[in-house]
Amino acid sequence: MSSAQQRILTQRDRMGLALPLAKAGIAVTVAMAGLMVGYIPSAAGFGSTPGLQLPWRFGQARNVSGFTYGSAQQLCDGVRTTHTGLEAYAIDFGLNFEEVDAAAYGTVRDEGYTSLGGYYMWIQHGQIQTYYGHLSAYSVSVGTVVYKGQPIATSGNSGPPGTGAHIHFRATTGGTGAFNGTAYMPEPMGGLGPPGYTGWQNYGCSLDITTTFISTPPNQQVNVNSTQSSTTDVFIRGGDGGAWHSPTDSSGLPNGWETLGGTIQGTPVGVGTAAGARIDAYALGQDDSVWHDIWITGTWYGWNRPATNHTSGSSETEEVTATRALDGTIDLFIRGVSGDGWHAKTDGGGEIVSWESIGGTLKGAPVGSWDWQRSRLDVYAIGMNDQVFHDIFWASSGSWSGWLTTLNPQASGQSESEMVTSARRSDGTMDLFLRSSNGNPLHSVTDSGGNPGPWLSLGGTIKGTPWGQWSGSNLRVYAVGLGDGLFVQTWNGSAWSGWVQGSGITA
């Protein structure tokens, strides 16, 4: 056993995260088979206790509506709120006969009518349940599996007369029906965080009706092994909140999912060696720090937290990205707590040795790629105007060029963690990918200076950013579809194959 392996073994399972499922004593019968047939995680982004989404169309702003939130101990303008007990974390939002969307991936378990709540819908999302009241119409029926952000109903004023059209929204845990369980405060939740936001529990009294929340789409992500070889490995965050990995077969489809354990934020990322004998994986733990795992000749050695670390920004979908240089060292990137880009350098063993800010105010983690001569590191990120920005580290001078807007601007889709990803070509140009404002996957090829050419759609509607990887003469692109399935599309040098869904696991 090498010294590196001994070091990993002594530090394994020290991650400030949950242990791998089998070690936690949780039965994972389907995992024993290697290929995760029949395993349906609740969402790649948020695990079995999902991060919820505000229940209306992405990109739209709505206000709190009237007397809403409060526990039995809270007064609203001197009057105790009627939202108590099971309703202790309920909020009414001002949707006027408008589309109501599912707050997370789940299954519709109940629809019905009560004199107090009007027409309602109740959805099960793993450990969490959500309730939508005062509806005027249903878009889906009991038993339907819905994805986060899917239209499920239309708001209305059913129930007590004179209340006006709105949506009554609450979350619970441990419920077996629409009217039992324990009140649950739905944080983290996409779209929360207006200026001065102080927490879900502080909104809902009548004086709060001018507080505006904007629904933001989930960024369910798949990351691809970043390496200068023909091998491909894919990583997602599973419904258990842990990291999952699969190698791919000759067509680029996943071929044997395995859990890496942990309870992580965002998506893990892996960087392999050219010879394919080692993969370094990184992920953000619940403490917002970067964690490290290593695969060597068939064995993962467990997560450990490097001594040199830096805190990531607070978001449901925070990411860490990575690229390996020809000398075996790795460059890591995160978005810091102030929204700026941060870069770390590792030694040859994958241990972080230094962090530095590369400035800017970004919407997601930067993504970097070395050229084949290791003379320049091109880094891309989405700025606050939803446009692609470009920075270059020059090895000859040891300095950064600074963030610059790129040619052929293209707006990224609005989400909490927008990214632009890259795949390096042997001629020094790059393939760039982003998710458009309409949810479409877009692709562009850069010139030698790193500026994108025309942006072209790859078709489909996706969650999160596509990720591309060259495999020999083929460019393979991976993305998570609206139904949480993992899809791959291949460019063979003359044409795209169209999206093909991988079997065995959904994101």
Choice among 270-274, 308-312, 449-453 with the minimum mean pLDDT:
308-312
Identify the domain containing residue 201 by its residue range: 52-214
The tens digit of pLDDT for each residue in 376-424 reads 999 999 887 888 999 999 999 999 999 998 887 777 765 545 789 999 9
**In terms of domains, do 184 and 248 share one?**
no
**In terms of domains, do 372 and 464 share one?**
yes
pLDDT band at 433 (very low <50, low <70, confident <90, very high): very high
**In terms of domains, do 385 and 327 share one?**
yes
**In terms of domains, do 141 and 36 share one?**
no
- What CATH number is attached to the domain comprising 485? 2.120.10.70
**In terms of domains, do 209 and 225 share one?**
no
**In terms of domains, do 289 and 336 share one?**
yes
Of 162, 186, 214, the position where a domain reaches its end is: 214
Beta carbons within 8 Å of 267's beta carbon, 6+ residues apart: 44, 221, 222, 223, 235, 236, 237, 283, 319
Beta carbons within 8 Å of 195's beta carbon, 6+ residues apart: none
Dihedral, CA atoms, 236, 238, 242, 244, nearest 10 degrees? Answer: -50
**In terms of domains, do 226 and 363 share one?**
yes
The tens digit of pLDDT for each residue in 445-460 reads 999 999 999 999 999 8
Phi, psi of 212 (to 5 degrees): -105, 135
Of 189, 214, 239, the position where a domain reaches its end is: 214
Choice among 22-31, 70-79, 351-360 with the minimum mean pLDDT:
22-31
Of 180, 214, 248, the position where a domain reaches its end is: 214
**In terms of domains, do 267 and 122 share one?**
no
How many domains does one find in the chain? 2
**In terms of domains, do 256 and 360 share one?**
yes
> What confidence score (pLDDT) does residue 186 get?
86
Residue 60 has pLDDT above 90, yes or no: no
Q: What is the mean pLDDT of the chain?
A: 78
**In terms of domains, do 447 and 469 share one?**
yes
Averaged pLDDT, 488-500:
92
> What confidence score (pLDDT) does residue 204 get?
67
**In terms of domains, do 96 and 149 share one?**
yes
The tens digit of pLDDT for each residue in 136-172 reads 999 999 999 787 778 999 999 999 887 789 999 999 9
The tens digit of pLDDT for each residue in 10-31 reads 222 222 222 222 222 222 222 2
pTM of the model: 0.65
- What CATH number is attached to the domain comprising 98? 2.70.70.10
**In terms of domains, do 66 and 174 share one?**
yes
